[in-house]
Structure 1
């Protein structure tokens, strides 16, 4: 079964740590990262899709993808 997550966060080191943690748990980058700027808050937000192939599981919408 293939799992998909879209990680998001403010463009700062905590976002990079979030992506790094996912990579170290076996997730792989999927596509290019995205950036958007929020003029109201003055912050830039990042997004990165990641995927992971897992065996022996059946998809359940209640599963916590970050814990896979």
Structure 2
């Protein structure tokens, strides 16, 4: 199965660590990162899509937990 996640976070080191952790768990960057202003919190927010191929498992909506992979 192919899994997809969209990671988001504030424009600081925590976001970079979140993406780094995903890459080190076998996730691959997918597309370009995003960057936008959050008017409510008056801060910049980052986003990055990641994908991962997992053999031997079938995806089931509502059952498959992305955090398990």
What band does the TM-score fall into relative to the shorter chain? over 0.9
User: Matches of 2:19 and 2:37 in 1, distance apart?
Assistant: 19
TM-score (norm 2): 0.91
Could you say what secondary structure the match of 1:57 adopts?
coil
| Alignment gaps of 5+ in structure 2 | none
TM-score (norm 1): 0.92
| Residue of structure 2 in register with 1:24 after alignment | 24
| Alignment gaps of 5+ in structure 1 | none
1:25-49 superposed Cα distances (whole Å, 9 cap, x missing partner): 0000000000110233220000000
Report the aligned-residue RMSD. 0.9
User: Matches of 2:68 and 2:49 in 1, distance apart?
Assistant: 16
| Residue of structure 1 in register with 2:65 after alignment | 64
- Deviating above 6 A after TM superposition, structure 1's stretches of 4 or more consecutive aligned residues are none
